[in-house]
A and B are shown apart, each in its own frame.
Chain A
Amino acid sequence: MTDEITKVSIVVSKGSLEGIYPALIMANGARAEGMEANLFFTFFGLDAVHKGRAEHVKVATVGNPGLHLATLVGGLPGVSSVMTHYLDRKMAKLDIPPIPEFIEMIADTGAGLYGCKASCDLFELTKDDLVDQVKDIITVGEFFAMSAGGQIIFT
């Protein structure tokens, strides 16, 4: 098969639960299929690999019509935490790991995890602010060079 995918680079740009998990599941799944996989965390997606923030990622309860929750209700204090807790419990039942554990597992599969330099500059983050599994903070040019010959997925 010549159209077989052998390499994926996944850009994570959002810091919500529903923004981060699909990217992690795809990266992990790509490695499980024997593909090469890289994750590139940019903008609010950096929360997934931010020490101290990675375990507090929440589902968006405002501006998220798929949740079928009135916007006014979604904006009340604590609603995002309650919904996140509910989803976390459901995911735990399916053996989907919490984000920090998932990040560790994905790094163990041999996938590369990288922070975006422009975003780190913007948010004044250094490599020390990010979890140890992040190999490096790289530029967009380095990301493209690293992604050569593979598919790029933006989430």
Chain B
Amino acid sequence: MPTATYAGHDVDVNDEGFFLDPSAWSEEMAPDIAKDAGVDELTDRHWDVIRFMRHEYDEHGAGPTVRVLGKASGVSVKELYQLFPKGPAKLAARIAGIPKPRGCI
């Protein structure tokens, strides 16, 4: 099982870098995870998406897909891909310390 070090804390992650235990996550870790995921700088807009992911996970037990993000997060699909070019739902979930969203749309 891989381990990653974010903000000085060792955390267990899966092969794709997603947290095994979402409760081990804290906001101070996000910039380090983002760098690992290829997002160099987290802007306020990135944070809007990350906090929305976290909120959805807390409410529903799973992260939303891009379709849901585009409709409900206040960030359009176009902007989502500008913020997270390598897959908004996937990257934002990883940076938010929650499991990879499952869903085909």
Contacts and interface: CB of A to CB of B under 8 A. Distances in A.
Interface size class of B (residues with CB under 8 A): 10 to 19
Interface of A: 25, 28-29, 31-34, 94-97, 105, 108-110
Among all A-B residue pairs, the 3 with the closest Cβ atoms: A34-B86, A34-B87, A108-B77
A97 B86 CA distance: 22
Interface string B59-71: 0000001111010
B74 interface: no
A29 B87 CA distance: 9
B81 A94 contact: no
A110 B90 CA distance: 16
Q: Which of B67, B68, B88 has the most CB of A within 10 A?
A: B67
B105 A108 contact: no
A24 to B, nearest CB: 9
Given A25-B104, A32-B66, A33-B90, 16 more contacts: A25-B105, A31-B66, A32-B87, A34-B85, A94-B105, A95-B67, A95-B68, A95-B105, A96-B105, A97-B105, A105-B67, A105-B77, A108-B78, A109-B66, A109-B81, A110-B81
